[in-house]
Amino acid sequence: MMSEFNWNGETYAAANSIQSSVGEALIDSVRFSPDMSVLDAGCGSGNLTALLAKKVPNGHVLGVDSSESMIEKARGLMGLQSVSNLEFRKCAINEIEFKEQFDLIFSNSVLHWVVETADGLCRLFRALKPGGDIILQFPVLNAEHPLIKYAGRAIDELGYDARYEEWQFPWYVPDSGEQFEDMMKKAGFSNVEVSMKSGLFSFPSAEVVYQHFISVGLELLAAPLNKEEKECFFNVVLNDLKDDFSGEAVMRYERIFARAGKA
């Protein structure tokens, strides 16, 4: 199931140019047909889903997300853009029940939230038509991921390590690209191509990085702390970012990219 997190569609849309940037590049790598049926699995605030709909003017695009706030934001965007071949529904990936309905499944910065990853991939496989394709990417939240690194640094500085002894990490982190490739093959996908890529992303300031952290789950990393400790934790994360970056903040992110088909 998806990790419990109080998503805010407005905050996420405002603070996540990084997801949009990577997602747009992912879309550019796809060869579309005008009448395709497309599933955006984990559509978030819907900006990329609307872009997908424009790529298939005679087809149909369905965006699903586990967060009602995200779906509300996406539906508002749909109204502003007057896109007629686009639909949004509240549905987590581990709740998908479609069978051979989509020519293309697109998933951008989502699968790290699907802790029951094998089940999620099996559901996406069933949703894909024979001859269809899936394309996806998601960040690897290992110790070098900026969110994890700065949270861990704050925990060490505050001496809170003991509070995390029984805490369970809330994200899926593959051991390697090969491990995720094997999982996709076990789900039934064919012609699986998986790569792990590292790249830099520039934020205008430390404060913008902090808002990005807030929008994608920093509070989950403060879950074992009481109210007073959480306030200290958030302050230290922000102050550490400010100490490291007086202007532009450049962060390195490692990501899994994958594409596959269904025979």
**Boundaries of every domain in the chain:** 9-261
DSSP string, 183-218: HHHHHT-EEEEEEEEEEEEEES-HHHHHHHHHHTTG
pLDDT band for position 263 (cuts 50, 70, 90): very high
What are the pLDDT digits (tens) for 5-38? 665 555 555 445 788 889 999 999 999 999 999 9
| Axis crossing angle, helix 68-81 with helix 47-55, rounded to the nearest 10 | 50
Query: Do 107 and 43 touch, CB atoms closer than 8 A?
Result: no
pTM score, whole prediction: 0.92
**Region 168-188 average pLDDT:** 96
Tokens 């269904």 label which residue?
Answer: 262
Q: What is the pLDDT of residue 180?
A: 98
For residues 58-73, average pLDDT: 93
Say if residue 238's pLDDT is above 90: yes
| Closest C-alpha among 56, 89, 85, 61 to residue 75 | 89
Written as six digits, the tokens of 48 are 């990329």
- Give pLDDT, residue 79: 67
Average pLDDT, rounded, for the chain: 92
pLDDT at position 6 is 65
Average pLDDT over residues 210-226: 93
pLDDT on residue 4: 60
The residue to which tokens 């990005």 are assigned:
212
- In this predicted structure, what is the pLDDT of residue 17? 75
How far apart are alpha carbons 154 and 14 in whole angstroms? 25
111-170: pLDDT as tens digits: 999 999 999 999 999 999 999 999 999 999 999 999 999 999 999 999 999 999 999 999
pLDDT per position as a tens digit, 78-107: 766 667 899 999 999 999 999 999 999 999
74 or 27, greater pLDDT: 27
Task: Fold for 9-261, please state it.
Answer: Rossmann fold (3.40.50)
CA–CA dist 260, 262 (Å, integer): 7
